[in-house]
Structure 1
Amino acid sequence: MTKKVVSIAAGEAHTLALTGDGSVFSWGRGTFGRLGTGKETDELSPVRVSFRGGSGGRGEPKFVGVAAGAYHSLALQDDGSVWSWGYNILPKVIEQFKELGAPNSLSREQNANRQTTPLKVSSIKAGGMMSLAIDNLGALWIWGNSPQPSSTEEEIFSLVSSSSPLPVWDFHGHTVVKVACGNEHVVAAVSAGEKFSGTDLVCYAWGNNNHGQLGLGDKEGRARPQAISTFGEDSPWAIYEISCGAFHTAILTHKKSYDQEIESRCWTFGLGENGQLGHGTAMSTSSPEPVDGLPMETILISLDCGLFHTSVLSASGEVWSWGMEKGLGLCPDASLAGDDAGDALFPIRHRCSETPGGLFPVPVQLACGAAHTVLVAGDGEKLWAWGRGRSGVLGRGQTADSFVPVPLMWPSLEAGLKRNYESKASFHQSGSSSSETSAMEELSVLREKLTLMERYATVLHVSIFRKSLDQRNLPKSLYDSEVFDIKRELENVMEAADTDELARLKMFYEGMLSAVKDRLMKRRIKEVVKEYIRSLSLGRQP
């Protein structure tokens, strides 16, 4: 049973982790039953959540997704059913999804026996006191305390409490690809046409807008989704990640046209009084603005917002945060004297104390709670956390705060290798202390080389395909044979790629070819100039 973490989610003061074998772990504050343990006591280190019976009564189910609101949690089972817990409710299946039936363009579909086909959900999100789900047909559902049109005036939004999932009819005929929510607002990335083809996403927002968190250029609330012009169909920027804080929003984009350069950018808008926008001031803004404090050449792969802070993760293992909590984990050198609240107005980089250069090895994902951040790296084998540690939210077995990333109490591959080595050494009883030290040093060197190669492969893969390298998608021939036929595998990749992926590959290689030709031309010009100068110095006519 693998304990590699493949996904994490953070609530107000608790965290969920999903492992590769489909298990869910939780830790942190236990009030309202948000941890799913059947108790309200805090858990200072990760504990496994028990799901008795499964949706079909076949024992422990397997899960493929997790989401965390302020005081509740969600988990997505591999059969498309959704589980929820919190407010003193143990983990159980949301039966209303079964009763809704699988929609056909958001309409109820019945088979020949007049029986409804259970709705299958493909992704889940949660925030504040609301929950969202996208089904396998690309329809969006919402429940909890969520923004809905007022019953008296269609253009005025109100928060409606619903225990049953409600469809968002505005996206009929389109595919919802990404969604996120704050305390009272929702932001979604939706296909311009009926189907999503790679870069044709339009960004919509609705709900409370008293701080400009909808990115629409004003502070008027919206009852229904309205397109954010900065990320419209004609925008040069393609959206690939969205996150919402309590009253602010952050979005990751990349250029639709490469132009020989690969560039990703983080945009923020909404409440800025704690520096959570990263614009260098405590001012709020109602229109998307880029976070200029991040290196332009960095490829960002993960983004999350806490209540009043924001964090991003790069493909090379760099982590930046900015925003609140009086510098807790964000700007530890702040004096906190006078008017200095200690908030980080610009992105501040966190460093891994275990690696040269401070890079976190083989990064996977990060998640932000109200006042803490959790990072998964080491290809899912290691977790780090920092921020306020009350209720054990940092997962370290204690409640102390931490200004810097510290490892969680989580089983790691490194620990397993060390135990295996120690057991063998103890069994054979033949090596001297010097040989043991040498073996451990050699193991350390090999591990550093492996980390470097994995980081290189991840950066290269993200540069070309715009998504993280997943071990599950590696060519089967790498496992089955000692020979890797790169020509055949490239043909397989192109055969399996859709039109948009092929177009991106074409742009990438054309850009690279153009850059190479340009570099060769510059070198040729330099050689001609050098030859010209040398001829003049010898008194010869060129």
Structure 2
Amino acid sequence: MLRFLSIKNRSPSGFLIGLVRRWMSTKTTVMSFGDGSQGALGLAASPVGLGVDAYEPTPILGLPPDVCSVSAGHYHSLAVTSQGHVWTWGRNSESQLGRGQISPRETWNKPQKVEGLDQVRALAAFASGVVSAAIGDDGTLWVWGNSKRGQLGLGKDITEAVLPSRVEKLLGHEIVKVSLGWGHALALTKDGKLFGWGYYADGRLGKIGKSLEASPLDSIAGKVKSSGENSNLMIETAEQLVLEAIEKEKDMPIIWEPTLIEELCDVEVVDVACGLDHSLILCSDGTLLSGGSNVYGQLGRLKDDLGLHAVDMSLRPISIASGLGHSLAICKNMSSKAVNDEPSVVTWGWNQSSQLGREGPENVPMVVDGLAGEMPVSVSGGRVHSIAVTVEGEVWSWGCGRNGRLGLGSSVDEVEPMLIQYLEGSEVLHAVAGFDHNLVLVAE
């Protein structure tokens, strides 16, 4: 069974890059489970199309045997090999697979190598719903896909890159990690600087925008809740509010190129995570900042102030992750009265399908008791589910079970973490959650 190195003082990209180095000569298999409707599972299609769900981790055929890291976008998947090649599969309506053209839907589920990266040795890859990105071993950032919200970071009004394009604005900076929301992006450098670009409403990118303003779409949820109990009235109100918000968003607040987040210039950033419309930023002193939408309490703080502010928590985060509207962290108890300093998984935010894995106030960061005694090394959040990997190489999942996205062999929701028994005995190297699907990397 695989034993991970200590997660203490791990560099932001240390987990992925460490796997590249550690497993260059080890054969690996990528497995997937969950919703297969967009081809993101990479599994064979049914006679009637792509809509084949997998209720247990299932090996993906057609990938090289030396995959060393995986990443899950909202509806597509990426894998990086020890040779630095990037492979993709899943939804391609926005050219996020990097295949040079909009491929036929029936080919989405077939893993293929990304075109246009022949001169780049990729160390890691990342994705949102409409954009994919890769980091080269020289620290350069390459992006492809389609985003009207400026998420490519290639310059004013550039909304499409069918093939990978280098982000020129970041030349001279060694990028080690990228995190992508629906319309915004954060890139972390080796020396702890943070750059942001894309849609900047609600201060999800700090103060780099012209002003801190609320997103008209993000504020809808609260208005609908206060519209009354009549369901028909709520639907009519929601429709009207959405139409009004879309009209306002024609003049979207966008930063078209990567820009240094100046309020963090005197702080060393060590990890970043973007939810759909919020951001988490972990500093070297243990301070965790959050910014963006707080409709579901995903910012983890009582203050609703726009911009980046500290999350209200007593534990010290050492790594972070985010789902659509919920946040996750691996934390240590730094209190002198603590019995031990073993890490715990802490969650907060949207909990409609029990994706927090615990009871209690949703907007307050709290420990997931169901993982007590385990040693988590990584966490990941989807649309309404979460997964965690422990030092023993076990994978736990909880939240919405629809389409088999928990990998437990059923579609039942789970209110607390459940061990994915199908993976017992496997050497799990990495596991990540997309919106409704998951990827697991195991050593043969």
The answer to whether the 8 Å contact 2:4/2:391 transfers is no
Q: CA deviation at 1:345?
A: 0.8
Kindly indicate whether structure 1 or structure 2 has the higher relative contact order, using CA contacts under 8 Å at least 6 residues apart.
2
Shift of 1:333: 4.5
Q: Is 1:365 the equivalent of 2:383? A: no
Contact kept in structure 1, 2:202 and 2:307, CA below 8 Å: no
Residues 157 and 207 in structure 1, CA contact (< 8 A), matched pair in contact too? no
Three-state SS of the structure 2 residue aligned to 1:230 is: helix
Following the alignment from structure 2 to structure 1, what is the Cα–Cα distance between the partners of residues 69 and 356? Answer: 28
Q: CA-to-partner distance for each residue in 1:121-157, whole Å, 9 max, x for gaps?
A: 111111222111111111101111246869xxx9855
**Percent identity, aligned pairs only?**
28
How much has 1:302 moved relative to structure 2?
A: 2.5
Q: Within the alignment, does 1:140 sit opposite 2:152 as a pair?
A: no
Aligned to 2:293: 271
Cα distance between partner residues in 2 of 1:326 and 1:266? 24
Letter in 2 for 1:345: N
For 1:149 and 1:251, the matched residues in 2 are separated by 21
Cα pair 2:150 2:197 within 8 Å, conserved: no
> What one-letter code is carried by the residue in structure 2 that aligns with 1:137?
D
Q: Distance in 2 between matches of 1:128 and 1:394?
A: 20
Shift in Å, 1:5: 9.3
Residue 116 of structure 2 aligns to a residue whose secondary structure is helix
Counterpart mapping for 1:171-190 below 5 A:
171-190=170-189
Match of 2:58 among 8, 32, 47: 47
Q: Which amino acid aligns with 1:238?
A: E
Instruction: State the AA in 1 paired with 2:74.
Output: A
Is the CA contact (8 Å cut-off) linking 2:385 and 2:398 kept in structure 1? Answer: yes
Instruction: Show CA shifts across 1:292-349 (max 9, x none).
Output: 2242xx3x33211111100001362301110013372437556xxxxxxxx7111121
Contact 2:27 2:65 in 1 (8 A): no
Deviation per residue, 1:478-501 (Å, 9 max, x gap): xxxxxxxxxxxxxxxxxxxxxxxx
- 3-state SS in 2 of match to 1:307: coil
The answer (yes or no) to whether the contact 1:351–1:360 under 8 Å persists in 2 is no
**Which residue of structure 2 lines up, in the alignment, with residue 222 of structure 1?**
255
In structure 2, what is the equivalent of residue 31 of structure 1? 37
Aligned to 1:95: 115
Q: Once the 2 structures are TM-superposed, how far is the Cα of residue 287 of structure 1 from its aligned partner?
A: 1.9
* Contact 1:294-1:347 at 8 Å conserved across structures: no
Alignment of 1:255-294 (within 5 A): 255=285, 264-280=286-302, 283=304, 285-294=305-314
Superposition TM-score, scaled by structure 1 size: 0.58
- How many Å separate the matches in 1 of 2:388 and 2:185? 24
The counterpart of 2:203, out of the listed 208, 212, 227, is 212
Are the equivalent residues in 1 in contact too, given 2:43–2:109 (CA < 8 A)? no
Among candidates 364, 375, 399, match of residue 387 of structure 1: 399
Q: Note if contact 1:44-1:392 (Cα within 8 Å) is conserved in structure 2.
A: yes
**Structure 1 residue 230 displacement after superposition:** 2.8
User: Which residue of 2 is the match for residue 129 of structure 1?
Assistant: 130
Deviations 1:168-187 (Å, cap 9, x if unpaired)? 10012221122111111110
2:369 matched to which residue of 1?
Answer: 351
Q: Deviations over 1:264-297 (max 9, x none)?
A: 122110011110000036x3x44211112242xx
Larger radius of gyration: 1
In structure 2, the CA distance between the partners of 1:331 and 1:47, relative to structure 1 (3 Å rule), is: closer
Kindly indicate whether the alpha-carbon contact (under 8 Å) linking 2:353 and 2:400 is maintained by their aligned counterparts in 1. Answer: no
Give the C-alpha shift of residue 70 in structure 1: 0.8
- Is 1:318 equivalent to 2:344 in the alignment? yes
1:423-459 deviation digits (Å, cap 9, x = unpaired): xxxxxxxxxxxxxxxxxxxxxxxxxxxxxxxxxxxxx
CA 1:149–1:274 in structure 2 vs 1: closer, same or farther (change >3 Å)?
closer
Shift of 1:51: 2.0
Helix, strand or coil for the counterpart of 2:283? strand
Deviation of the 1:201 alpha carbon: 2.2
Match of 2:326 in 1: 309
Cα distance in 1 between the residues matched to 2:260 and 2:157? 16
Contact 1:383–1:410 under 8 Å retained in 2: no
Contact 1:321 1:330 survives alignment (8 Å): yes
* Preserved contact between residue 242 and residue 252 of structure 1 (Cα < 8 Å): yes
The residue aligned with 1:540 is: none
Count of matched residue pairs? 337
Normalized per residue, which structure has more helix?
1
For structure 2, the residue ranges without an aligned partner over 5 or more in a row are: 6-18, 46-50, 92-107, 214-252, 333-341, 428-444
Superposition RMSD in Å: 2.9
| Alpha-carbon offset, residue 21 of structure 1 | 4.0
Distance 2:149 2:344 in 1: 39
- Contact persistence 1:67–1:73 (CA under 8 A): yes
3-state DSSP of counterpart to 2:263: helix
TM-score for the superposition, normalised by structure 2: 0.70
Counterpart-to-counterpart distance in 2, 1:242 and 1:157: 26
Gaps of 5+ in 1: 7-16, 53-59, 102-118, 191-195, 256-263, 335-342, 417-542
For 2:329 and 2:163, locate their aligned partners in 1 and report how far apart those are by CA, in whole Å.
Answer: 33
Query: Distance in 2 between the 1:333 and 1:68 partners?
Result: 27
Alignment of 1:392-541 (within 5 A): 392-412=404-424
Q: Using the alignment, how far apart are the partners of 1:289 and 1:254 within structure 2?
A: 15
CA distance in structure 1 between the partners assigned to 2:149 and 2:416 by the alignment: 40
Aligned pair in 2 of structure 1 residues 321, 177: CA closer, same or farther (>3 Å)?
Answer: same
SS at match of 1:395: coil
